[in-house]
């Protein structure tokens, strides 16, 4: 007979009861643990997860009140709110049974029990455990999905040869569970590619969790990605699942992975190798099943040679690499992108349908777009807002100002990407008189991302 894959814990001060229950249950379940001392419950639960816990109601001699059982029930539920606890007692008091259910127990079992009754009760309550875990996952995923609703993610737009290559690779890798590393400059649409992979995968009905690693500080890294228990730190007022738990059975997208310090890279590698996370404040390992997609605009191979990025982590995340081209290398897609954003922002600002003149299109195609699609998007939005005409001219896009501010950085003496980025950031910050918000908006970056680059380049 095939055993059910489940972990059972029995807590009772009667050694004979423990022995009899274990001998019977281990024939039917993969793991059966016993514990005679209830004081050891916190330590036992800190080291493992159990699908069903059988808990004696009375541990003191001649006690029939059930108070001890209720105390330890509350301890168990404090440690694991999704725990399924079945009270066992030698006293058939219906009032205790009702009170036990009200306190949070899932079921009630009288001893001496019949083995068939014991097996049926545990088997039925395994489904309750699954339901509780699913509900907890759904609540966590709902928060992610609700936050996603505040962001608009369009489809990938492009028919150029460069983008066809990207889409072909994405479609092919989506059918597998291989880890994917997406490379490309800022604003090229790396997250859109990641979402396209998820949407075309067998995990498409599950959640897609996006994490901007560049925006998470070292102190918050573990709590954000791995979760925490109530009381793990000052502001930990409740148990919270981390991003890896929330992404279970779905896809987790780690953006800007090149920004991680070596110590955080080590922690991430451990999780990826073991496929388990441990919440802060707990010792319990939680299995995870996620599809991993990472992205960066940083030269990871060069960073490996410089000792700034772990080689074993790079091998772990880049089973397949996809390089997203900059907008200047896919000029054929510019008309499609402009048409798309004109439609989006004309509707958003209720300006009526707008289009660009032929001369405008030619100017836009000649522009270098250092901020890539994100820069083009902001340029179209600004033109839609500022122009009173239905036909947008070059002057509506402030191209001369854009080229004046960024032109020097597009044709630098050095073709080094970091030097180019540093020159561009300094020029735009100077242009806006040190106003970080305005500079970030023009560069197509978040304030946090721009601050990180200011610190990185010591500007």
- Is 0.85 topped by the overall pTM? no
pLDDT bin (cut points 50, 70, 90) of residue 409 is very low
Across 14-32, average pLDDT: 91
312-366 pLDDT, tens digit per residue, is 999 999 999 999 999 999 999 999 999 999 999 999 899 999 999 999 999 999 9
Instruction: Indicate if 151-323 has the same CATH topology as 4-130.
Output: yes
Say if CB 251 and CB 209 are below 8 A apart: yes
- Residue 414's pLDDT is 46
Examine the pLDDT at 437 and tell me if it is beyond 50: yes
Examine the pLDDT at 9 and tell me if it is beyond 60: yes
Q: d(Cα 235, Cα 231) in Å, to the nearest integer?
A: 8
Q: Domain map of the chain by residue range?
A: 4-130, 151-323, 327-456
Which tokens hold the place of 222? 């573990």
Tally of CA atoms within 13 A in the half-sphere of 201 that contains its CB: 28
Residue recorded with tokens 């836009």: 364
pLDDT bin (cut points 50, 70, 90) of residue 64 is low
128-177 pLDDT, tens digit per residue, is 887 777 666 666 666 665 555 445 456 799 999 999 999 999 999 999 99
Which tokens hold the place of 271? 């999780």
pLDDT bin (cut points 50, 70, 90) of residue 63 is low
The CATH topology of domain 4-130 is: Rossmann fold (3.40.50)
Q: Tell which CATH architecture fits domain 151-323.
A: 3-Layer(aba) Sandwich (3.40)
232-268 pLDDT, tens digit per residue, is 888 888 888 899 999 999 999 999 999 999 999 999 9
Q: Tell which CATH architecture fits domain 327-456.
A: Orthogonal Bundle (1.10)
pLDDT bin (cut points 50, 70, 90) of residue 97 is low
């Amino acid at each position: 007979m095939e055993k059910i894959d489940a972990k059972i814990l029995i807590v009772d001060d009667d050694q004979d009861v423990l022995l009899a229950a274990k001998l019977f249950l281990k024939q039917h379940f993969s793991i059966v643990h016993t514990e005679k001392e209830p004081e050891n419950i916190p330590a036992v639960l800190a080291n493992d997860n159990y699908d069903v816990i059988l808990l004696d109601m009375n541990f003191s001699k001649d006690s029939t009140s059930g108070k001890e059982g209720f105390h330890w029930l509350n301890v168990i539920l404090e440690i694991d709110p999704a725990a399924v606890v079945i009270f066992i007692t030698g006293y058939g008091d219906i009032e205790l049974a009702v009170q036990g259910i009200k306190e949070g127990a899932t079921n009630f079992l009288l001893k001496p029990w019949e083995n068939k009754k014991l097996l049926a009760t545990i088997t039925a309550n395994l489904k309750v455990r699954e339901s509780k875990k699913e509900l907890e996952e759904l609540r966590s995923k709902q928060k992610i999905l609700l936050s996603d609703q505040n962001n608009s993610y369009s489809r990938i737009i492009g028919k150029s040869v460069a983008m066809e290559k990207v889409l072909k690779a994405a479609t092919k890798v989506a059918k597998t569970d291989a880890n994917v590393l997406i490379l490309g400059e800022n604003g090229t649409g790396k997250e859109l590619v990641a979402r396209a992979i998820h949407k075309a995968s067998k995990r498409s009905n599950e959640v897609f969790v996006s994490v901007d690693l560049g925006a998470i500080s070292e102190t918050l890294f573990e709590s954000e990605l791995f979760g925490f228990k109530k009381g793990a730190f000052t502001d930990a007022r409740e148990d919270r699942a981390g991003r890896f738990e929330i992404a279970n059975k779905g896809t987790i997208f780690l953006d800007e992975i090149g920004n991680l310090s070596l110590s955080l890279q080590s922690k991430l590698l451990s999780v990826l190798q073991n496929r388990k996370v441990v919440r802060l404040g707990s010792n319990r390992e939680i299995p995870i099943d996620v599809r991993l997609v990472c992205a960066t605009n940083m030269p990871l191979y060069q960073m490996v040679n410089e000792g700034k990025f772990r080689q074993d982590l790079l091998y772990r995340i880049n089973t397949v690499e996809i390089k997203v081209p900059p907008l200047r290398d896919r000029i054929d897609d510019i008309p499609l992108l402009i048409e798309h954003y004109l439609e989006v922002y004309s509707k958003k600002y209720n300006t009526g349908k707008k289009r660009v003149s032929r001369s405008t299109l030619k100017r836009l195609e000649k522009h270098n777009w250092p901020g890539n699609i994100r820069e083009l998007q902001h340029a179209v939005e600004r033109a839609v807002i500022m122009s009173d005409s239905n036909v947008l001219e070059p002057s509506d896009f402030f191209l001369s100002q854009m080229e004046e501010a960024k032109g020097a950085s597009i044709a630098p003496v050095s073709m080094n990407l970091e030097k180019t980025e540093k020159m561009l950031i300094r020029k735009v910050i100077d242009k806006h008189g040190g106003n970080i918000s305005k500079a970030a908006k023009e560069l197509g970056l978040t304030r946090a991302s721009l601050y990180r680059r200011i610190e990185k380049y010591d500007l």
